[in-house]
A and B are shown apart, each in its own frame.
Chain A
Amino acid sequence: MGKPTGFIEFTRKLPHKKPVADRLKNYDEFVDRFPEEELTKQAARCMNCGTPFCHSNMGCPLGNVIPEFNDAIYRKSWREAYDILTSTNNFPEFTGRICPAPCETACVLGINQPPVTIEEIEKHIIEIAFEKGFVQPRIPNVRTGKKIAVIGSGPAGLAAAVQLNYAGHNVTVFERDDAAGGLLRYGIPDFKLEKWVINRRVELMEKEGVEFRYNANVGVNVSINDLLREFHAIVLSGGSTQPRDLPVPGRELKGVYFAMQFLKQQNKRNAKKNPLANATIESNILHEDILAKGKNVVVIGGGDTGSDCVGTSNRQGAKSVIQFELMPKPPEERTPYMPWPTYPMILKTSSSHEEGCDRRWAIATKEFVSDGNGTLKALKLVDLEWKLADDLRPSRFEEVPGSEREIPCDLVLLAMGFIHPQHNGLLDELGVEYDERGNVKATEKAYQTNIPKIFTAGDMRRGQSLVVWAISEGRECARKVDEFLMGTSLLETKDASLLSFFV
């Protein structure tokens, strides 16, 4: 531990963010970097706990060895920090930007003080590493001759691919979109993750020997049988892509869209690509532009995707942005029922919210109201009265009598989450089993489907989740694939030391 009293001397600070007015002018990232001195101070706040909850399963899903890299940063031992961080996380540049940071809610300092700025430190470590040239292709010294197909290039697929390549296998990544990254690429807005960050990583992976095939939709323009014949193992990492719908009257109206359809268009535009091309191969491609400019926008769904819709709408120049949430407004602080170190369901105000948004809770949409020409003009709503269970969690609701009303609305973005992966096509044709939630069935220990050579990882297996979970799944799955092919593996796993596999 760099400084035993750091947590007493310094308080939590986050890097400066650009002002809202500036942010809204473009889609660039707007969070600055810490000056070096501030970075080491923030790292010095880490207490190097005897029991670091941050890297337990209540904290970082990857098992990042947080106290060790904080210490290295405090000592300005950049290379060491980079080694420590990348021993558990292949893509800190992603998680350092867009992770909700369960490590920080589990931080021991958070019991009675603001927690350590773990996520920012993580981002700094990797960016410094790139700047200083520490990040070099790691090319395996032995090639096994085994070929592996990874289907889907989201964080899970990328993590699986990079790890399997390290293990000496020949990995080919199939991506139906025109670039790698999955939701990172076409779900998360640029202002949270600029896409050069993904390109930089993908280029590195290519140098390391991973092969990428874009606009390669397995089952559509790539033969499933060829794949099964050609590859020794297949990793399914296509994500949880089936959005939850809102089947109320008027759902078919023009002006009601899924969030992903909206967000992807904007990301394509930012990349100077045609947002309407390739509809048969890529996902979420619509035949029309969805733009919020000058419109009354309602975002239904109060999660991160909803928030991204808010930020994008504001940047596009929406007239007004309202965000609905079915659930009641969460408490602002932890209750006894959501104690440290659990991840608390408390009110979160994202940077997009700061940029302008009317947030409403406990509201249900009864109907999308047509202007008579098949276009949305308003929403019919009702307020909800929630009953709380013993542990203060909302348990059931009733509509508030007489609260039904209409509000004017030109664009509705449905951001209510995803229910499971897309079944038709690849998955159904492969004949993989599904679990009761419709995800591809495989245990968290084995990552193996009912078809022995086919493995699955990420949202496709566990259902919609965080990027950090996807990376974790990809890594763990890779180890299992390696074991399946080679009997043993030298790939790290998060809950056991490599040594323990040798006894």
Chain B
Amino acid sequence: MVCKGLYNAEYERDSCGVGFVASIKGNKSHQIVSDALTILENMEHRGACGCESNTGDGAGIMIQVPHEFFFTECVKLGVHLPAFGRYGVGVIFFPREIRLREECREIFARAAERLGLEILTYRKVPVNTANIGKTALSVEPVIEQVFIACPDHIQDPEEFERKLYVLRNYATHTIENTVKKDSIGFYMPSLSYKTVTYKGQLTSMQVRTYFTDLSNKRVVSAFGLVHSRFATNTFPSWKLAQPFRFIAHNGEINTLQGNLNWLKTSENGFSSPLFTKEEMEMLLPIVSSGMSDSAYLDNMVELLTLSGRSLPHVMMMLIPEAWDGNDKMDPVKKAFYEYHAAVMEPWDGPASISFTDGKIIGATLDRNGLRPSRFCVTHDDRVIMASETGALPIDPQLVKRYGRLQPGKMFVVDMEQGRIISDEELKQDICSRKPYSDWLNQYKIRLEELDAPRVTFTHLSEESVFKYQKAFGYSTEDVEYLIRPMAIDGKEPVGSMGSDVPLAVLSDQPQHLSSYFKQLFAQVTNPPIDPIRERLVMSLASYVGNNGNLLLEDAKHCHAVALKQPILTSTELEKLRSIDTGIFQAKTLQSYFRADGKPGSLKAGIDRLCRYAVDAVEDGFEVIILSDRAIDSDHAAIPSLLAVSAVHHHLIRKGMRGQVGIVVEAGDVWEVHHFACLIGFGATAINPYLALATIRTMKSNNMWETEQAWEQLRKNYVKAVCDGLLKVFSKMGISTLQSYQGAQIFEILGLNHDVVNKYFAGTVSRIEGMGLDEIAKEALAKHELAFNRKKIPVDRLSVGGIYQWKRKGEFHLFNPQTIHLLQYSTRMNDYSIFKKYSKAVNDQGEKACTLRSLFRFKRTRPSIPIEEVEPAENIYKRFATGAMSFGSISWEAHTTLAIAMNRIGGKSNTGEGGEDERRYELMPNGDSMRSAIKQVASARFGVTSRYLTEADELQIKMAQGAKPGEGGQLPGHKVDDWIGRVRHSTPGVGLISPPPHHDIYSIEDLAQLIYDLKNANRAARINVKLVSKAGVGTIAAGVAKAKADVILIAGFDGGTGASPVSSIKHAGLPWELGLAESHQTLVKNKLRSRVVLQADGQMKTARDIAIATLLGAEEWGIATAALIVEGCIMMRKCHLNTCPVGVATQDPELRKRFTGNADHVVNFFKFITQDLREIMAELGFRTINEMVGQADCLERRDDITHWKYRKLDVSPILYKEPADESVGLYHQEDQDHGLSGVLDWKFLEIAKPALEKRERVYSEFRIKNTDRAAGTILSNEISKRYKAAGLPDDTIHFKLTGTAGQSFGAFNTNGVTLELEGDANDYFGKGLSGARIVVYPSKEAGFVPEENIIIGNVAFYGATSGEAFIRGKAGERFCVRNSGANTVVEGVGDHGCEYMTGGRVVILGDTGRNFAAGMSGGIAYVYDVKGQFAENCNMEMIDLDPVINGESEELYDMISRHYAYTGSTVAKFIMDDFEAQLRNFVKVYPKDYKKAVQKAKIKVEGQ
């Protein structure tokens, strides 16, 4: 597809519901098929539909081949099918145009013939198109089944299966390459003798009716595997529906680009005894373009399975458990994983995968367990596995066991053996089939075991260090701001206040090449990971060497150097350089080019380097070291990133990449981003020799105040880099270095397509830019300065000026002049000075700083008098101030903004820190300090029913411009009594904001949270905040389908919050790109009119606002400029609590220095609106609505002559998506949130006396998994009337029976008691704010409750108060970020009590791993009879104390109440023997919390 705009189909991602029903004994029945379809139907809320409610994103089912049915059907066609197993069935999507269809058929026939296969017949699959959406029907294929006979000479059915595989791949490629493409194309959902797939672009409700076959009683199967898709787009695509041929995938492959590259480069070397050479050639390429990440994964699974490995084995290879660093793992299993790590990298990302080869069916979960997978085993030998429990109603008496898939685990139903094989047995069997451990011992090379290097290494002299620093572009900032803290503290430095320097491609200063690369990050469709608190899933291990032939298992595949982490010291590098095991050697290639400044010199250098690399591979070297040490006055270094990526891609193209490891020895590598780029583009290991030499010199010259020895500083630095790398991976949701390597998770901003296609192939780059000669020019500038013959009078490194404004340094939009003018104009209420300010910001003249500075307005209609422009009052309400928490900024600064915004009718934002209730009352002068927008961020500080009820808008912060994909931390010293109270936490105890929302791991989860919040406050708009990046448009489309009312696109550059400096600068993209892409994509999808589009990020003037409007935003946020009006002077020390003007500090003395005034802020918004109206008059727009998305009123400035940015092409940003009159370009219609069927309406009816007269009520209801967020609307009504206090305890008592849907009891408040008999799904008790929830299994059920899963994952996330009693086990992340609820449960999964800050948790059973990670408050009592609990704890922040007699009342009380509410036998047992059982309890006591509690106790006693 030729794209003029920014939309690109490759950005599409999907997530979904997945499930299966299987007969353990392999009994085929039609009931199984029907039940599977029921599961699909009951997970409809996990799928999505587009702009039409009857066009789905795709759904389908895979079953075993129903031989009896097909036999009959074929008889009707006059064909007598052979026996089962002797023929294959293919499902084909044909183009509708008959000519094309017949062309396909002919090619298919010839392909079959070539393989010696006989086509028996085609059968048209009958379909019923009633109620199928227009959009889906517009590209509905002709669906046929093809029957192919197994040739007589083939006896083994699996051999026949492989032939079918070759046929399908070959025919598909050939048709792809020869037949004219229409919008439907040719596609084969399945071709197998065992399985057959029915799927299409349908909603989950439509599958049963559309395929009439599925209702035929003769369609029988022992299993039905179903999938319902929620895609981020709505472009019709039948083929992307799942299941595929082997798997159904709920998840996302974050590392796709890298996985595909590695696959591509290894394809050349594929050989397998199971395929002839000719067949192998016919198979390739393994993946066909234009499919989804899940489809590619399916292709990979298929290849590896059909080339001889078992399906579970393949799943273990592709989605390994977290083995690295897990000392408790069985060595045999660990050896398996370690061996396979040398062979291939994980396909990394959140994943719940159901898989089948037609004989076994199973499921596996990724190492993080980021997708729910619940299963149920019945007494009649069925297994039901699904994303939700209750999707298939089961008679409680039939339930044998309720379980869930745990992170990294797998289970398989072997229908031939007629039993379930457990994870343990399965893996033990697979891992012991080959002597992996012996192979490793024999061939794995450990760096630390290598001999000392042949050549002793000499350090660079001080003089050369300085010269090299200059040559590679070090600034004093790089040394002092970046390298120093890394070396001394072992941490990446933190900065504040965003980035207002030019994009690399707009800067006058010669840039580091990696500055043109922006890190991408996870948002919405997949979650980022917390690399600190969930370190156990992360790995930096990798192998340098030859990967070998993927299709075979060979001992020598692991003959490679194993690295624990990718940073090599100079000595380690020398070891590697001189390695010689007899069959393993390294080759050093010099990475330089002629420094003659002539065009083509750099290219010649790269060509030579690539040539030599090929030679080295052909000469049999296993490692290539790319070194730039050998530079001199005539030869400059090739930027290491370019050198690595060029060699990497050259070798991929030659099919040689898998045969060598690439190691970099480079001077231009010092900050985390540099390392991330190198690894992301193919490097395996890096020796940052100059950064290390810099540390050494600084230490030996005593330039840094530190007692640490230089070796220690070096270790600290390496640690800081490693931690930084983990953070970079994890913000994309990637766990392992191996998967990140070559994954190219960047967007390029400012390199032209020649450079990108040749050297960075496959990376997104949308606005063109520099070519090789320009890159050379920047490299040479540094080189020339370093190697100049003349002495410089006072020779110092350049000043940088990126993290701090410096006169000689980088340009900043907020500089002394603009800050002064802005403050002066608003304080003096002087519009003429404001105009000067605007001019100083807007007129970047010869310089450009932002993408928008390259635009100018173009008049497409006559100007109008300003009086005709809509009044300022209409426009004020479109402004919001940024999300800054009370905690990050002072009370004074926070309320001043709120008062000002309330005066003009705009909106201020609470930020993520909760809100003091006194702000809900009007002030004596009529002002209001209430923030109209309440933010709901990952830590859920103070998110109570009342808080949500008090909002005009609820903003879900998916990401933050300053540090997308990262969490935050408020240090304990900033948490004073006041902030502690507002955030529902303990004063003095630090607070952690997790990187992900633990209730949003996917788009369907986001839809669920939106639904929850809408229940919590129906009057509030739900706003989803996203950060600009490639693909944000398709995410926005998904978010619009998830029913958000407002979508905010934030630029990377904004952000007032503290953040690692490399994230501020290198993560995310400018809003111009994200906003334009979002608007274009939403218009293309006809979704634009359903949402309000908002933009923010360093907006400073009316011109910025006007441009944002023309690019598609009808509302705008301004944060930094508003803070400056309040007195901020861009000190950029917000994180130190030392703000000298009282804005970003909690220090009472410094707060007194605050001089901000709401009048000034009002003046600012008045001025900016006035200025905006002047622009509107000039451009001829009467209203903002008219103006939204009129991108044709912008054009590129034609006076740009700068050598660097005149080559930029901004036309994709200025592209106006064509839309007919029926397509709305701005917000015109409200979302249908689907609240009409909510169970709460019934609740409200019954609760009327309670609500109106506080009378007690009791009632009973049935509940099923589609009843979600029970009690939330009810609580909203209580909060409206009775504020935070709610109703007296137990005023409303409802008893529910059945399976509760997600978010049961979410944000339920005081006075509500929900009693559930049955079981429940994820997010049970989310945000609980005072209510009581009780759950116990059906009284008819026969299983032992404490051994079964009764509630899902992420229960009580962000609960602030209330209590709950759970008779049975909970899933992963129980009580995550609980800050005040008291709960009792009988066992939990991994990551229990994560980030908890308050409340009490009693666990009367086992816990999973990583318990109490990041737990800073509250107490957990764990009943640890087996004495294994300590091993499962993350001990970083907690103590494990015994429960002493005197302190046990609280515990006893909770257990006895648990017994009273649930009748728990476990509780009864403990109560009866309490004294003795007490010693089986462990008290999990966070250290800081303990200190704070003791301090408070002393204080009380002192009084």
Contact = CB atoms under 8 A, between A and B. Distances in A.
Contact of B807 (A163, A339, A494, A503): A494
B791 A141 contact: yes
Given A111-B1129, A495-B807, A56 B793 contact: no
A497 B799 contact: yes
Interface string B709-737: 00000000000000000000000000000
Given A68-B476, A112-B1140, A138-B793, A57 B817 contact: yes
Contact of B1141 (A59, A65, A111, A342): A111
Contacts of B805: 50-52, 56
Given A498-B792, A502-B780, A503-B781, A50 B703 contact: no
Interface string B1108-1140: 000000000000000000000111110010101
Contact of A497 (B808, B1155, B1204): B808
A50 B808 contact: no
Interface stretch (B133-141, B411-419, B823-831): B823-831
A87 B1140 CA distance: 29
Q: A7, A77, A168, A500 — which one has the most chain B CB atoms within 10 A of its CB?
A: A500
A49 interface: yes
A492 B793 contact: yes
B508 interface: yes
Interface string B1228-1262: 00000000000000000000000000000000000
Contacts of B790: 140-142, 167-168, 490
B236 to A, nearest CB: 49
A481 to B, nearest CB: 15
Contacts of B510: 499-500, 502-503
Interface in B739-797: 777-778, 780-782, 784-785, 788-794, 796
Contact of A84 (B509, B796, B798): B796
Interface in A45-93: 47-53, 55-59, 63, 65, 67-68, 75, 77, 80, 83-84, 86-87
Nearest to A62: B807
B858 interface: no
B620 interface: no
B1220 interface: no
B468 to A, nearest CB: 15
Contacts of B509: 497, 499-500, 503
A109 B789 CA distance: 43
B705 interface: yes
B1206 to A, nearest CB: 14
Interface string B550-592: 0000000000000000000000000000000000000000000
A8 interface: yes
A394 interface: no
Contacts of B798: 497-499
Contacts of A86: 794
A330 interface: no
A139 to B, nearest CB: 9
Contact of B824 (A63, A339, A500): A339
A63 B807 contact: yes
A266 to B, nearest CB: 36
B806 interface: yes
Interface string A337-375: 101011000000000000000000000000000000000
A191 interface: no
A491 interface: yes
A450 interface: no
Nearest to B1203: A503
Contacts of A494: 807-808
A56 B796 contact: no
B819 interface: yes
Nearest to B778: A503
B1150 A8 contact: yes
Contacts of B819: 51
B808 to A, nearest CB: 5
A8 B1138 contact: yes
B466 to A, nearest CB: 12
A155 B1103 CA distance: 44
Contacts of A336: 827-828
Contacts of B784: 502
Q: A52, A109, A138, A163 — which one has the most chain B CB atoms within 10 A of its CB?
A: A52
Contacts of A83: 794, 796
A48 B804 contact: yes
B705 A52 contact: no
A108 B1138 CA distance: 13
Contacts of A502: 510, 780-782, 784-785
A83 B476 CA distance: 13
Contacts of B799: 65, 497
Contact of B1138 (A47, A59, A168): A47
B1153 interface: yes
Given A499-B785, A499-B798, A112 B1155 contact: yes
A498 B820 contact: no
B794 A51 contact: no
B777 A503 contact: yes
Contacts of A49: 804, 1129-1132
A267 to B, nearest CB: 30
B814 interface: yes
B794 A87 contact: yes
A496 B799 CA distance: 10
Nearest to B777: A503
Interface string B225-246: 0000000000000000000000
Contacts of B1132: 49-51
B1473 interface: no
Contacts of B1204: 503
A52 B1132 CA distance: 11
Given A75-B705, A108-B1140, A503-B777, A51 B808 contact: no
Q: A52, A56, A342, A499 — which one has the most chain B CB atoms within 10 A of its CB?
A: A499
B580 to A, nearest CB: 43
A32 B827 CA distance: 41
A5 interface: yes
A293 B471 CA distance: 64
Nearest to B781: A502
Given A5-B1138, A75-B705, A341 B828 contact: no
A384 B686 CA distance: 77
Interface in B1136-1195: 1136, 1138, 1140-1141, 1147, 1149-1150, 1153, 1155
A166 interface: yes
Contact of B820 (A55, A80, A342): A342
Contacts of A490: 788, 790-793
Contact of B782 (A57, A84, A138, A499): A499
Nearest to B1147: A8
B126 interface: no
B325 interface: no
A336 B790 CA distance: 50
A275 B1244 CA distance: 103
A77 B788 CA distance: 28
B804 A500 contact: no
Nearest to A49: B1131
A66 to B, nearest CB: 10
B816 interface: yes
A4 interface: yes
Given A52-B804, A87-B794, A496-B808, 18 more contacts: A50-B1131, A51-B804, A52-B805, A55-B807, A56-B816, A57-B816, A83-B796, A86-B794, A113-B1140, A141-B789, A490-B791, A499-B509, A499-B510, A499-B781, A499-B782, A500-B510, A502-B784, A503-B1203
The 3 closest A-B pairs by CB, nearest first: A50-B1132, A502-B781, A56-B816
23 contacts: A47-B1140, A50-B496, A50-B497, A51-B812, A55-B807, A63-B808, A83-B796, A87-B794, A106-B816, A166-B791, A339-B824, A341-B820, A490-B788, A490-B790, A490-B791, A490-B793, A496-B508, A496-B808, A497-B808, A498-B792, A500-B510, A502-B510, A502-B780
